[in-house]
Amino acid sequence: MTVLLHEDYIVERGDFKNAGKVSSTIKEKLKMIGIDAKILRRISIACYEAEINMLIHAWGGDISMDVSDDGTVRFVFKDPGPGIPDLDDAMTPGYSTASDDAREMGFGAGMGLPNIKKVSDSFDIASSPEGTTITLGFHL
């Protein structure tokens, strides 16, 4: 497998003014290289939800994207903390630990992780107090 395109992005902690900007940039980049619209829609949903989770629940983070010659797109969303106390709860639709401030801005419905898993071809999550890493894969 050879990586044809690699991109790295930074999500700044609490930067709600630019919420969704990274996922929009990813969508435009993948659109330019001709990713199928149906797959692009699923990727956009997953990236947006993961980016917003970094803003709401974590201290920002990094996103990497690899488009490979084996017909896959892989994303790694990595934040530096504080971690998810109970992954089973977090994967339950409607469960949220979002702050009142985040909810007032329209975020925190508790559908982020379930939606990400639903639209991704592969989904892996690991979390500890040192941070959370979500790895997603999409077959082109």
Which domains are delineated in the chain?
Answer: 3-139 (3.30.565.10)
Global pTM value: 0.94
Give the pLDDT confidence score for residue 60 in this predicted structure.
94
Give the pLDDT confidence score for residue 13 in this predicted structure.
87
Give the pLDDT confidence score for residue 14 in this predicted structure.
83
- Per DSSP, the three-state class of 87 is helix
Q: What is the pLDDT of residues 25-40, one digit of tens each?
A: 999 999 999 999 999 9
- The tokens describing 72, both together, are 């896959």
Inter-residue contact 55 to 79 (CB < 8 Å): no
- Residue 106 above 80 pLDDT? no
- Per DSSP, the three-state class of 66 is strand
Inter-residue contact 33 to 67 (CB < 8 Å): yes
- Residue 96 above 90 pLDDT? no
Q: 10 Å Cβ neighbour count for 48?
A: 20
